[in-house]
Amino acid sequence: MTAPTRPPPSSQALAWATVAWRKHLGEPHVVLDRDVVDPAEIATFATEHRVAAILRPGRRAEVQACLRVATAHEVPVYPVSRGANWGYGSRVPTSHGAVLLDLSRMERVVDVDLVLGTLTVEPGVTFADVEERLRGTGWMLPSPGSSPGASVVGNTVDGGVCDGLVPLRRRAVLEVEVVTPDGEVLRTGLGAFPDARARGAHPGVGPDLTGLFLQSNLGVVTRMTIALQRVPPRQAAVHLQLYDDARLPGLVDAVRIVLRDGLIEGSVTFYDEIRLLAMTTRYPYGEVGGATPLPEAWLAEVREALGGSRWIVEASVRSTDGARLDSARRTLIEALTPWADRVDFAADAPTPQFTPRAPAHRRDRVLA
Ligand SMILES: Cc1cc2nc3c(=O)[nH]c(=O)nc-3n(C[C@H](O)[C@H](O)[C@H](O)COP(=O)(O)OP(=O)(O)OC[C@H]3O[C@@H](n4cnc5c(N)ncnc54)[C@H](O)[C@@H]3O)c2cc1C
DSSP string for residues in 163-188:
SSS--BGGGGEEEEEEE-TTS-EEE-
* pLDDT score of 14: 94
Three-class SS of residue 285? coil
> Which amino acid residue places its CA nearest to atom 21 of ligand 1?
155
For CA atoms 234, 224, 56, 72, the dihedral sign is positive
> Which amino acid residue places its CA nearest to atom 41 of ligand 1?
221
- Listed as own residue / partner, the contacts of 351-355 with beta carbons closer than 8 Å and 24 or more positions apart are 351/231, 351/232, 351/233, 351/234, 351/235, 353/134, 353/135, 353/136, 353/138, 353/140, 353/231, 354/138, 354/231, 354/232, 354/233, 355/136, 355/137, 355/138
Backbone phi and psi for residue 176, each to the nearest 5 degrees, phi listed first: -130, 155
**Separation of 162 CA from ligand 1 center, angstroms?**
12
Question: What type of residue is 287?
Answer: E
> Which amino acid residue places its CA nearest to atom 46 of ligand 1?
80
Cα–Cα distance, 5 to 111 (Å, whole number): 39
* pLDDT score of 177: 96
**Separation of 301 CA from ligand 1 center, angstroms?**
31
Nearest ligand 1 atom to the CA of 1 is: 47
Nearest ligand 1 atom to the CA of 279 is: 1
* pLDDT score of 90: 93
**Separation of 90 CA from ligand 1 center, angstroms?**
8
* pLDDT by 10s per residue, the chain, length 368: 444 567 788 899 999 999 999 999 999 999 999 999 999 999 988 899 999 999 999 999 999 999 999 999 999 999 999 999 988 899 999 999 999 999 999 999 999 999 989 999 999 999 999 999 999 999 999 888 778 899 999 999 999 888 777 778 888 999 999 999 999 999 999 878 888 877 777 777 888 899 999 999 899 999 999 999 888 888 888 888 999 999 999 999 999 998 888 777 677 889 898 888 887 788 889 999 999 999 999 988 888 887 888 999 888 887 777 787 888 888 888 888 899 988 888 766 555 444 333 333 333 333 33
**Separation of 333 CA from ligand 1 center, angstroms?**
35
Rg of the chain taking only CA atoms, in angstroms: 23
Cα–Cα distance, 150 to 158 (Å, whole number): 12
* pLDDT score of 275: 84
Nearest ligand 1 atom to the CA of 80 is: 30
> Which amino acid residue places its CA nearest to atom 8 of ligand 1?
145
Cα–Cα distance, 264 to 318 (Å, whole number): 8
Q: How far apart are the first and last CA of the chain?
A: 26
**Separation of 166 CA from ligand 1 center, angstroms?**
17
**Separation of 89 CA from ligand 1 center, angstroms?**
9
**Separation of 49 CA from ligand 1 center, angstroms?**
19
> Which amino acid residue places its CA nearest to atom 50 of ligand 1?
146
> Which amino acid residue places its CA nearest to atom 11 of ligand 1?
160
**For the whole model, what pTM was predicted?**
0.85
> Which amino acid residue places its CA nearest to atom 1 of ligand 1?
279
* pLDDT score of 238: 84
Nearest ligand 1 atom to the CA of 90 is: 29
CA distances for 354 relative to 111, 231, 317, 321, angstroms: 21, 6, 15, 13
Query: Nearest Cα to 237, choosing from 256, 206, 264, 219?
Result: 264
3-state percent helix, strand, coil for the chain, nearest multiple of 5: 30, 20, 45
**Separation of 305 CA from ligand 1 center, angstroms?**
31
Q: Which residues line ligand 1 (CB under 6 A)?
A: 78-88, 103, 123, 144-146, 150-151, 153-155, 157-158, 160-162, 220-221, 278-279
Instruction: Report strand pairing: 77-80 vs 98-102.
Output: parallel
**Separation of 276 CA from ligand 1 center, angstroms?**
19
**Separation of 99 CA from ligand 1 center, angstroms?**
18
CA 175 to chain centre: 16
